[in-house]
Amino acid sequence: MTAASGKSWPHMTSREEFRFLSDLVFTRSSADQTMVRLHDHHAGTTRFANNQVVQNVDTRRGLLSVSVAFDGRHGTASTTDFTAGAIQDAVTRAERIAKVSPVDPEYLPPPDPCAFPMRATVKSETVGAGPARRLEYTNEAISQCRMENLMAAGVVSSSMTAVGIAASNGLFGYEHRGDARFSLTVQAGDATGWSAAAHRSIDHLKVQERTLAAIKKAKSGRDVQELSAGTYPVILEPAAVAGLWAWLIWSLDAKSYTKGTSPVAGKLGRHIVDERLSLRNSPDHPDLLGEGFTPDGLPSIASVWVDHGVLRQLAHNRFTAKTDGLDPIPTLEAPALSVEGLPVASIQDLVKSAERAILVTNFWYIRPVNDRNLVLTGMTRDGTFLVEKGEVVSAVKNFRFHESPLTAFQQVEAWTRPMEAVNSETGKMLVPAMALPRFTFSSVTRF
């Protein structure tokens, strides 16, 4: 974002300023329909490695996007310069693109104006967190690792974003969204331990608790044995569960369902997983990153996607929702997975109840093998252990797996309450740790 002088703007774009900017766009647009989107982002990040701070950066970027349409031909142009001349240029470019574009048979005018839900999407402690606060948490993690003669690497970040959407038909939405994140990898020789968190409140990152958990994983992973690949009972920690369910969620696309290429094709209203499992969108949950509205200008709503194992919803865009007569359109930006029944108190209790199992901290580099049945492949990471007779007896060399979540979650033997789960592939979810009777590890990795 730049001003005429080239200096950064001193504050986040306010509601009134966004309304002024969007009205400016509407007065200068000659299109049939016009939409304006704001994304004004201010973030601070502290990175550390080898037990020392290696980078502390503060970034600010404002983006205003203009989308226009003439008889189903549409185009979009963006600018980081919020001056009147730059906005006029963005409108002109968007109109030029639209006029030479083919008609989009799936184009729809902006949604009708509505009252978006007001949510607690920003916390004052996160907005006020600067380099000193991030350094405090960084030093806390580093100090704990130094005391154990271990190496720490990771990130502490905090951000605030002004998000807005407006349309020429009167649609208008604006909100502030803040979040803080912590990620730590602890290295003990060739062994690693890992933990991560994301929350609206920087005070909720639980840096000491998560650091101690990562340290314990790294120390426990020093003495490794190699097991043969095969099918094992598993105990999946929340990050591992979230990694698999993220792919299941992505497979619920309505368009591929209609085409018959979805792994859940023909299964709407039928069981796809264990009958005790339910998946909901919970945008008002204080530990999730719920929002008031989507980039398409739709309200984010609470909804049930899997109800006692039965698939109830598909992921629709506005065109497929209109085709199927669906209103309102369900959203899933704050997923929460739960299991009906009495949970155990902790992951340790799952371990105690296991006769023999593989305990998996996390999966990484998960990729699809077969889109038709959702067989995925990936590797265990940051702590994989053999459990025998209720105790962790040793670390094991990492496995590669080939498994479908639609198969793996057909039967759940034991579970915890839902817990926060974050990894690089899933964003933020609430999921329980789970004990599953069968999981296929196809090979042993080289590390």
Mean pLDDT of 39-44: 96
The span from the CA of 227 to the CA of 90, in Å, is: 59
**3-state secondary structure (DSSP) of residue 169:** coil
pLDDT of residue 11: 86
What distance, in Å, lies between the first and last C-alpha atoms of the chain? 45
**Residue 447 pLDDT class (50, 70, 90 cuts):** low
pLDDT at 6 over 60: no
Considering the chain, what is the average pLDDT of its residues?
95
Question: Which residue matches tokens 């730049």?
Answer: 2
pLDDT at 8 over 80: no
Mean pLDDT of 161-174: 98
Cα-to-chain-centroid distance, residue 352: 31
pLDDT at 233 over 50: yes
> pLDDT tens digits, residue range 44-80?
999 999 999 999 999 999 999 999 999 999 999 999 9
Mean pLDDT of 356-379: 96
Confidence (pTM): 0.94
**Residue 361 pLDDT class (50, 70, 90 cuts):** very high
> pLDDT tens digits, residue range 204-213?
999 999 999 9
**Residue 5 pLDDT class (50, 70, 90 cuts):** very low
**3-state secondary structure (DSSP) of residue 183:** strand
Question: Which residue matches tokens 């105990």?
Answer: 235
- The one-letter amino acid code at 327 reads D
Which parts of 269-416 are beta strand (E)?
Answer: 277-281, 303-307, 310-311, 335-339, 356-370, 375-388, 391-396, 399-403, 414-415
